[in-house]
Structure 1
Amino acid sequence: MSTATQTPAAAAEGHTDPAALVASVVPVQTRSERPTSFDPADFGTPTGREVNWKLSPISRLAPLFVDQAGPEGIMRVDVSAPAEVEQLRLAAGQAPRGEHFRPEDLPAALAWTHEPEAPLLRIPANVELDEPIVVRLTGTGGLAHAHVVIEAQPNSRGTVVLRHEGSVQHAQNVEILVRDGADLTVVSVQRWDDDAVHASSHQARVDR
């Protein structure tokens, strides 16, 4: 019986060391390094193997990965706010929409793209609200996108409560801007029906 012996050089020839491949890939270390884009085409459809999606129920979230606008009226919005609060609608490119927010995944980019007029809730400078702003969002079935902007101007103080309920497939962005000296609390309450699907990206900038 004879035994063939392979030299180290021969063993290495044509062989790729898996450890070397892993070492050559440097994962994203900070949130600021994540790729961002307002164009949904720049993001691949999640498979569940990605770091940010590996613990997510991809099959349930699948409706939020489709590049199509939902029909009007899917989400009913009721706002209860003190008289001092300003409520406006912002088209894409109209400040302060997009001042800080940058989509970091496909649902966020789709929510940005398919929200023609983003609602803005603004607490004016030097105003201290005695009561919270309550935004009641009720899904009535189907696909809905939203980009919401909340702004607390300098030296203002207030609380915003987002109450979600009903049934819907909802991709949502919440852009929060806290100006110099402002004090803002944002609370998101989830009271959805069991069949609701909700993916939300919250990004905030807090000034001095």
Structure 2
Amino acid sequence: MDAAEQAAAYASADFSVPHQFLVDRISRLLPGLPAAARVLDLGCGPADVAVRFARAFPGWQIDGVDGAPAMLELGGAHVAAAGLAARVRLYQAVLPGDRLPGSGYQVILSNSLLHHLHQPQVLWRTVRAAAGPGAAVYVTDLRRPAHNHVLRQLVDAYSAPEPAVLRRDFEASLRAAFTVQEVRAQLVIAGLPELAVTELTDRHLAVFGCLG
């Protein structure tokens, strides 16, 4: 989503309810998260989720990474307005070629990046390479409905009042997203059997666990 029109539409849309739900849910799925941690947020976009995690966990230092300059420009403004520039830093990097800002992270987050990747193993290889021993992993994404009529119902229910570009992108994202079973198969290939996959909402899934 590197077009300015896409980035602006995404950043201006009201994702407060689903994004806060994702943040609130992490403590149920991963109890015992460190109070202080170096955190990597892959595909941070306009940084709304990163800002919410920073507020929920005041001891976290978050490095947000995204490949789209338009998203990062909006994200930088959002972080600054939230007064979190000292704890949330944003970097441009396109996976898998560009270097990440660090390694040995204690927590790795990602929201709505997986379905954007032509090769999903890119994400899982990046998670393994960036994680420190015992790192907590929390990856959330859309999940593809089993039937086209369900997909249309989701588009109508959640994006009807949004601009046309956002409705189009939401439908395309649902079609590109993976099922729970497909993600489990990806994790087997990646050698990450310790990560679990669950349905999170009527349109989201979550991958979570601590690396061995």
Does TM, normalized by the shorter one, top 0.5? no
Question: Which structure shows the bigger proportion of residues in strand conformation?
Answer: 1
Question: Which structure shows the bigger proportion of residues in helix conformation?
Answer: 2
Task: Give the greater-gyration-radius structure (CA).
Answer: 1
The TM-score, its normalising length taken from structure 1, stands at: 0.31
